[in-house]
């Protein structure tokens, strides 16, 4: 089969690789219908995260089940499934507490599983899925093509924005500021409105992303960044700042901006993978500002979110503004690297 | 009148000072009935926080109102009142959101108020109370002597333990570990049980404090500290750690211990004033561990806690294991400094 391989920074290709096979009785093999490129894929693509040897890449995909192991009972060949961005057993003590990203048997796509068998990554034609019962969520029937982007958005990007909002404690009637206008930040705007936020301020300098933020429900846009932007947000929100701030970037500057936007007693929900983030603990302490979040336990949220996508009330797939066939995956990375696309969907 | 003055590290005396007077129409002057010494008072007492000139000290007291300004309407001369550890107007945008410690007009005892008038500290015979309507909470009648320690514990120490538990999100049936066996840590044990925690692990090396922790409801005691102690706590709690960890010390080591006791997806509530606390953000992110807390907004909690103290169901005053008259205040500090007392109550 063909799958995406990152050979070295900015050298990404669709290569011929071995066909996946069932290795364990709890496995499934699935045929990918659509995959996408994540902002976090750009870290190794750009060489900021080291790439010492060619590696498979991609962790967001929807698929049709082709084959299942003897112990798999919740999905069958022919089922349309959503794969969360990590695999997990959905039964261990941590999965039961909703932290599937810390599953004792779980792991990332594109590495070896706990038994030492290779697990395919998502940007390819087929994937061996470990712990298929725990990992995959099937739709009641095979969905129409128009639903595919919205279902694909459930594999990572929307639940990650949702995790920021949940971690920050967004409730009915509260005020929210969102730092970051990438696909996750935009998803966080949608998630905050879905949870009932009265006012959502999106911080974005780009006209196209501002427009998408508006369409996702943003009430206000602030183009300024850093201290200047935070001062405007505070002024806008009772002169004190936002109850909840969603940090969707992960740099030291974006975290500072997020903390400066937060009112005393408020909370930052952070989902941007942290790179050189330092926290001013005494200032957070004096102002009673909390911080929660991390890698989104996507699987934990699917049971709640999927029905709303299926009935059309939740349409998170609007973050995809570029659709390409899998064999143009390199163009998809280039577009996101150069910020001409917010997020690329790959049809397989 | 006489009031406690810290002249230089470990030189603390009861001095003659000017009698407080009403300065603003929103003031009250109160006669202190009982005060106490806080663990945080030991920082300047020990010279770890600088003391460049003699300063008044103390921020926990209960009192009887002697005189009120023309604009004061909620307390009257003769009322028995609890003074939270900061004064606040209870009406500003931040007080309305329960963050009285960030009140736009508020401040600490023992400094100047926003109008530039000196505000007495709590370890003395009388205090000018700014913003009396917002700050003071009166009991329905003058309480019996046996209730005084429990009411005094509401001025700071118990609501601070409660704030750790609330900030960490303690709920019915959850598991909790408490780092720190000072008066705040012990109060946090009581607060966690009051909020319905199923299992509370108190981390303490001292037999007398272990006993007090047990009497406050601790289910388990762990005497080990650091990594070793955290490993025992994790093992005790499903092999994964505590849902909620209450950090009641404020050092780098105690915070590390708290984070190591927390299960993935759990939260640390911290109320120990942070001294050299650094956080490992990538590790917190990967394990989805949140952090919330800060200076306890005592005033916000009094309406909920006071009735339970008045009806005898909540008895937080058991943290006082030494009672001295105000003129022996220096002995009270010495006992806490040498850890022969958990917390000293001063009768005035």
Q: Which residues from A are below 8 Å from B102, CB to CB?
A: 264-265, 287-288
pLDDT at B18: 98
For the beta carbon of residue B27, count every other beta carbon within 10 angstroms.
26
Q: How far is A192 from chain B (nearest CA, A)?
A: 19
**Residue B11 — φ and ψ, nearest 5°?**
-105, 95
Whole-number pLDDT of residue A51: 86
CA distance, residue A115 to nearest chain B CA (Å)? 22
Q: What domain range is B266 assigned to?
A: 158-293
Q: Is the pLDDT of residue B53 over 90?
A: yes
A290 contacts in B (CB within 8 Å)? 167, 290-293
Could you tell me the CATH number of the domain that includes residue B135? 3.90.180.10
User: B277: buried, middle or exposed (CB in 10 Å: 19+, 13-18, 0-12)?
Assistant: buried
Query: In terms of domains, do B170 and B283 share one?
Result: yes
Q: Are A156 and A180 in contact (CB under 8 A)?
A: no
Nearest to A291 among B264, B290, B295 (CB): B290
Q: Which long-range contacts (CB under 8 A, 24 or more apart) does B208-215 make?
A: B208/B321, B208/B342, B209/B181, B209/B342, B210/B181, B212/B186, B212/B318, B212/B319, B212/B321, B212/B342, B213/B178, B213/B181, B213/B185, B213/B186, B213/B189, B215/B318
B150 shares its domain with B176: no
Q: Indicate whether A264 pLDDT > 90.
A: yes
Average pLDDT over chain B, rounded to an integer: 97
Contacts with A267 from chain B: Cβ below 8 Å: 292
A100, A299 Cβ separation under 8 angstroms: yes
**B293, B314, B332: which is the final residue of a domain?**
B293
Hey, are the CB atoms on B102 and A264 less than 8 Å from each other? Answer: yes
Please indicate, yes or no, whether residues A185 and A141 belong to a single structural domain of this protein: no
Confidence of residue A49 (pLDDT cuts 50, 70, 90): confident
Segment B206-211 mean pLDDT = 96
Residues of chain A neighbouring B284 (CB-CB closer than 8 A): 291, 294
Q: If you count residue pairs, one on A and one on B, with CB atoms under 8 Å apart, how many are there?
A: 109
Domain boundary among B274, B293, B312: B293
Q: What pLDDT score was predicted for residue B238?
A: 95
Segments of A107-203 assigned E as strands: 107-108, 126-129, 137-138, 175-179, 199-203
- A176 in the same domain as A132: no
Other beta carbons less than 10 A from residue A67's beta carbon: 16
In this prediction, residue B51 carries a pLDDT of 86
- CB contact (8 A) between residue A287 and residue B102: yes
Together in a domain, A104 and A149: yes
* Same domain flag for A192 and A203: yes
The residue of chain A with its CA nearest to that of B269 is A290
Average pLDDT over residues B127-154: 98
Q: Within 10 Å of residue A141's Cβ, how many Cβ atoms?
A: 9
Is the domain of A128 the same as that of A175? Answer: no
The verdict on A183 and A68 lying in the same domain is: no
Q: Chain A residues with CB-CB distance to B under 8 A?
A: 93-94, 97-99, 101-102, 167, 238-240, 243, 263-265, 267, 270, 273-274, 277-279, 281-282, 284-295, 297
Find, in chain A, the residue whose alpha carbon is nearest to that of B297: A288
The pLDDT, as a whole number, for residue B298 is: 98
Of chain A, the percentage scoring pLDDT greater than 70 comes to 100
Measured between CA atoms, how close is B311 to chain A, in angstroms?
A: 30
B338 by Cβ neighbours in 10 Å (0-12 / 13-18 / 19+) ranks as exposed
CATH of the domain at B263: 3.40.50.720
| Contacting residues of A for B95, CB less than 8 Å apart | none
Structure tokens belonging to residue A179: 């730092």
| pLDDT at residue B50 is higher than 90 | no
How far is residue A35's CA from residue A127's CA, in Å, rounded to a whole number?
11
Which residues touch A347 (CB under 8 Å, ≥6 apart)? Answer: A33, A34, A323, A324, A325, A326
From the list A273, A285, A288, the residue facing B99 with the nearest CB is: A288
Taking contacts as CB-CB distances below 8 angstroms, the residues of chain A near B280 are none
Chain B, nearest residue to A168 by Cα: B290
Minimal Cβ distance to A286: which of B270, B285, B294:
B294
Indicate if the pLDDT at residue A275 is higher than 90. no
Q: Total domain count for chain A?
A: 2
Separation in Å, CA of A61 to nearest CA in chain B: 22
Residue A249 near residue A277, CB atoms below 8 Å: no
Which of A167, A239, A284 comes nearest B294 by C-beta? A284
Q: With an 8 Å Cβ cutoff, are A297 and B277 in contact?
A: no
Q: Which of B248, B271, B283, B294 to mutate to test the interface with A (most CBs of A within 10 A)?
A: B294
In degrees and rounded to multiples of 5, residue A57 shows phi and psi of -145, 155
Rounded Cα–Cα distance for residues B178 and B162 (Å): 12
User: Using a CB-CB distance cutoff of 8 angstroms, which residues of chain B are in contact with residue A265?
Assistant: 94, 97-99, 102, 297
**B313-324: burial string, b at 16+ Cβ within 10 Å, e else:** ebbbbbbbbbeb
A302/A176 same-domain check: no
| A254 DSSP 8-state letter | H
**Which residues of chain B lie closer than 8 angstroms to A239, CB-CB?**
93
For B291-317, how does the pLDDT look when each residue is reduced to its tens digit (9 = 90+)? 999 999 999 999 999 999 999 999 999
Indicate the residue of A101, A167, A281 with minimum beta-carbon distance to B279: A281
Choose between B52 and B222: higher pLDDT. B222
User: Which of A264, A270, A285 is closest, CB to CB, to B99?
Assistant: A264
pLDDT at B179: 98
Chain A residues with beta carbon closer than 8 angstroms to that of B297: 265, 288
Same structural domain, A203 and A217: yes
Contact (CB<8Å) B294/A287: yes
For residues B53 and B121, membership in a common domain is answered with: yes
Nearest to A12 by CA among A339, A326, A228: A326
CB A79 within 8 A of CB A138: yes
Mean pLDDT of A286-311: 98
Average pLDDT, chain A: 97
> Which residue of B93, B290, B294 is in closest CB contact with A288?
B294
Cβ neighbours of A7 (radius 10 Å): 13
Residues B103 and B91: their CA atoms lie apart, in Å, by: 9
Nearest to B279 among A263, A279, A289 (CB): A279
| Residues in A touching B277 (Cβ below 8 Å) | 281
Please count the CA atoms within 13 angstroms of the CA of A275 that sit on its side-chain side.
Answer: 11
B295 to chain A: nearest residue by CA?
A286
Alpha-carbon distance B158 to nearest alpha carbon in chain A (angstroms): 17
Q: Min CA distance, B62 vs chain A (Å)?
A: 24
pLDDT for A157 equals 98
| Distance to chain A for B267, nearest Cα, Å | 8
Pair A106, A63: CB distance under 8 Å: no
Q: Give percent of chain B above pLDDT 90.
A: 97
Out of B249, B270, B293, a domain closes at B293
Give residue-wise pLDDT tens across range A313-324: 999 999 999 999
A243 neighbourhood in chain B, CB within 8 Å: 97
Q: Are residues B305 and B273 in the same domain?
A: no
Position A174 scores a pLDDT of 98
């Amino acid at each position: 089969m063909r799958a995406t391989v990152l050979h070295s920074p900015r050298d990404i290709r669709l290569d011929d690789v071995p066909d996946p096979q069932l290795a364990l009785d709890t496995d499934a093999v699935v045929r990918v219908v659509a995959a996408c490129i994540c902002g976090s894929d750009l870290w190794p693509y750009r060489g900021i995260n080291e790439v010492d040897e060619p590696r498979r890449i991609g962790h967001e995909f929807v698929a049709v089940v082709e084959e299942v192991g003897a112990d798999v009972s919740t999905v069958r060949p022919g089922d349309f499934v959503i794969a969360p961005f990590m695999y997990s057993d959905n039964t261990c003590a941590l999965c039961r507490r909703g932290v599937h990203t810390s599953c004792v048997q779980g792991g990332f796509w594109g590495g070896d599983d706990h038994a030492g068998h290779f697990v395919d990554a998502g940007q390819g034609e087929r994937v061996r899925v470990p712990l298929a019962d725990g990992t995959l969520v099937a739709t009641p029937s095979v969905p129409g093509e128009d639903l595919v982007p919205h279902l694909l958005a459930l594999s990572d990007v929307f639940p990650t924005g949702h995790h920021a909002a949940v971690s920050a404690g967004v409730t009915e009637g509260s005020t929210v500021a969102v730092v970051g206008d990438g696909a996750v930040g935009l998803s966080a705007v949608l998630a905050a409105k879905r949870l009932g936020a009265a006012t959502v301020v999106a911080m974005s300098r780009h006209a196209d992303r501002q427009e998408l933020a508006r369409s996702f429900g943003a009430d206000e846009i602030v183009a300024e960044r850093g201290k200047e932007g935070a001062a405007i947000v505070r002024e806008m929100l009772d002169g004190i700042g936002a109850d909840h701030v969603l940090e969707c970037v992960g740099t030291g500057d974006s975290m500072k901006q997020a903390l400066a936007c937060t009112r005393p007693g408020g909370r930052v929900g952070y989902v941007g993978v942290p790179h050189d983030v330092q926290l001013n603990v005494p200032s957070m302490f004096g102002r009673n500002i909390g911080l929660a979040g991390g890698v989104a336990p996507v699987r934990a949220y699917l049971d709640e979110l999927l029905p709303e996508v299926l009935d059309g009330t939740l349409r998170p797939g609007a973050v995809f503004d570029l659709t390409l066939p899998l064999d143009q995956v390199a163009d998809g990375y280039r577009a996101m690297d150069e910020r001409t696309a917010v997020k690329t969907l790959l049809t397989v």
